[in-house]
Structure 1
Amino acid sequence: MSNGEQKTNGRAPREGSEAPGGVQSVDRAVSVLEILAREGSAGVSDVAAEIGVHKSTAFRLLAALEERDLVEQNSERGKYQLGFGVLRLASAIPARLDIVRQAQPVLEDLAQRFDETINLAVVREHYAVNVQQALGSAAVASQNWVGQLTPLHATSSGKILLAYMSEERLDSVLDAAGLKPYTEHTLTSRKVLMGQLAQARQEGFATAFEELETGLNAAAVPVRDHTGAVVGAVSASGPAYRFDKARIESIAADFKAAGERISQRMGWLG
């Protein structure tokens, strides 16, 4: 092989394979999708600034993704959000996840009994990602949370996932994520958050009162695998006027039992 030839993972490039510039375009396109998943929506200038390209390049990336239905323009002029094409791709993932298969019947039972939105979340880097959802008859179904990345410190499922991390990983995740305020009720004090995480470990239960969205309350319990490690969190959420502290306290025992049922289906014998 001449000095001018390159290898990728120890293999020579195949004939007709992508040039480095093509790989860079793919990397940038994926970055755009991650930005929209994290922020909800963003304009061309926002995307360009975050990935470090000219606005014309960002526009071309968004246009290409829009053509594939992976992004779409929302009602706010000039803003883009994830399109339904992403949901089409994401829908292939839950069927491969054992935790989703084991949790599904329990999630549906909880949705029917509590009449609220039930979500199953796992950790991805320094976010919680919702991998399955079930809706009760009274659930506010204005948003499909499946595939959504949510902040760990501002959600009940996120607090559960944080609570059972090792001290080293917890520090690393919080350092990377920060404590961004989403509402006036979001926890922005690390000391206060650590206190809530200790309580969540003790009680096996976490809550979030209007901390991610004004008017939205939630509660969550852990899901364990066969080793006893917490690998997910099940949350119930609903409007603050209905899913209030008293309502959450009234379902706490049943909710914890449901988390244990999923854990047992995952092989946990504790």
Structure 2
Amino acid sequence: MQSDAPEWPTGGAAGPAAPQYPIGSVDRALKLILLFGQQPQVRLTDAAAHLEVASSTAHRLLAMLQYRGFVRQDPVSKTYHPGPALLSVALSVFNRIDIDATAGPVLHRVSEQLRESVHLGMLEGAQVRFIAAAEGPTAVRVASRLGRTMPAHCTSTGMALLARLSDADIAHLYPDNELRRVTAHSVATRAELHKELRRIRQQGYSVNREGSEEGVASVAVPVPTRAPGVLLALNAAAPVHRLNSSQYRAVAAVLVEAAKEIGDQIG
């Protein structure tokens, strides 16, 4: 028989002391909110397994979170995603973070290591906004895109972020099959976009060659954060002649390590 009593930390080094009057349903709802910080979409079966409860119990909890705007359910896939209320809370907290202080030192170190420019980008709808940058130390380098906003599907940063979304989310962001192109090398159709996103999900990083700017190539990886709905990615950008296919995996490995460090600091 299933118990309604939640499992609480015992205090000390293991965590804070348990509250005097624990409420199991509140604890489970909070655990679900934290789950959305670990993955961009959650199925009912995922929620039930995570909470170790029956599907009917998980459904009732998700329904209440949906009612309050903390999650939303995709009408086609039936998966749950962070809702506007949860995004508002996450973004308000994120906007108070000093990105230069937390991510800046990592970006500068990676820039020196790779000898190329690096950027931290954030997904905003179908756009990516570059919120931190460190230019490479060489005379010929990719200029900083700090503060700029670009179509997500035209950049490696944006593609690394779009790959974290479901096909239903992509269809919502891109209702038309024809996509806006920044250069002749930009992804041109939604079908092409889906194909590229599948490749990114398999290999764990995205690559862009002159899709956002002639003569520029880049590699990007997602930044793992626990803030629900806050999608960040880290890229390294270089002149095309200095970044070829034989280097992609090694560059991505450096970025993955740095992205984890940034994610740990941001929370």
**Does the alignment pair 1:146 with 2:117?**
no
- Check conservation: 1:204, 1:256, Cα contact below 8 A: no
Q: Tell me by how many angstroms 1:185 deviates.
A: 1.7
- Residue in 1 that maps onto 2:243: 243
More relative contact order in 1 or in 2 (CA 8 Å, sep 6+)? 2
* Residue of structure 2 in register with 1:265 after alignment: 265
Structure 1 gaps of 5+ residues are: 1-93
1:174 and 1:140, CA in 2 relative to 1: closer, same or farther beyond 3 A? farther
User: Aligned pair in 2 of structure 1 residues 97, 249: CA closer, same or farther (>3 Å)?
Assistant: same
Q: Letter of the aligned partner of 1:120 in structure 2?
A: L
**8 Å contact from structure 1 (residues 121, 232) kept in 2:** yes
Tell me if 1:183 matches 2:183: yes
| Alpha carbons 1:161, 1:230 under 8 Å: kept | no
Q: Does the CA contact (< 8 Å) of 1:224 and 1:266 recur in 2?
A: no
Question: Does the 8 Å CA contact 2:142/2:239 hold for their aligned counterparts?
Answer: no
Deviates more, 1:138-147 or 1:211-220: 138-147
Any idea what the Cα deviations from partners look like across 1:182-240, whole Å, max 9, x if unmatched? 22221113222212212222322101011111211011010121258662011110100
Instruction: Tell me the SS of whatever aligns to 2:146.
Output: coil
CA contact (8 A) 1:139 1:238 kept: no
Q: Contact between 1:183 and 1:212, CA under 8 Å: does it hold in 2?
A: yes
The offset of 1:95, in angstroms, is 8.3
The answer for the alignment partner of 2:102 in structure 1 is 102
**Alpha-carbon offset, residue 178 of structure 1:** 5.4
Give me the whole-angstrom Cα distance separating, in 2, the residues matched to 1:143 and 1:177: 32
Secondary structure of 1:219's aligned partner: strand
Q: Matches of residues 15-54 of structure 1 in structure 2 within 5 Å? A: none
Q: For the structure 1 residues 125 and 257, does the alpha-carbon distance in structure 2 shift closer, same or farther, using more than 3 Å as the test?
A: same
Question: Contact 2:122 / 2:230 at 8 angstroms: preserved in 1?
Answer: no
* Amino acid corresponding to residue 241 of structure 1 in structure 2: H
Q: Which moved more, 1:97-106 or 1:122-131?
A: 97-106
CA–CA distance in structure 2, aligned partners of residues 95 and 133 of structure 1: 17
Q: Which moves more between the two structures, 224-233 or 161-170? A: 224-233
TM-score, with structure 1 as normaliser: 0.58
What is the aligned-residue identity percentage?
Answer: 28
Tell me which residue corresponds to 2:132: 132
| Structure 2 residues without counterparts, runs of 5 or longer | 1-93
CA distance 1:247–1:169, shift in 2 (3 Å): same
Counterpart AA for 2:157: S
Q: Deviations over 1:29-67 (max 9, x none)?
A: xxxxxxxxxxxxxxxxxxxxxxxxxxxxxxxxxxxxxxx
Taking the TM superposition and a 5 Å limit, the aligned residue runs for 1:106-117 are 106-117=106-117
SS at match of 2:241: coil
User: What's the RMSD between the two structures over aligned residues?
Assistant: 2.6
**Partner residue in 2 for 1:165:** 165
Larger deviation, residues 132-141 vs 117-126 = 132-141
Q: Which moved more, 1:132-141 or 1:200-209?
A: 132-141
The aligned length equals 174
Q: Equivalent residues in 2 for 1:114-125 (5 A)?
A: 114-125=114-125
1:126–1:204 CA distance, 2 compared to 1 (3 A): same
Q: Distance in 1 between matches of 2:222 and 2:101?
A: 16
TM-score for both structures, normalised by structure 2: 0.58
Deviation per CA, 1:129-164, whole angstroms, max 9, x where unpaired?
101110121264574311111111110001011111
The answer on whether the counterparts of 1:116 and 1:140 sit within 8 Å (CA) in structure 2 is: no
The residue type paired with residue 190 of structure 2 is R
Paired residues of 1:156 and 1:206 also in contact (CA < 8 A)? yes
Instruction: Name segments (4+ residues, structure 1) moved above 3 Å.
Output: 94-101, 139-144, 227-230
Is the 8 Å Cα contact of residues 157 and 221 (structure 1) preserved in structure 2?
Answer: yes
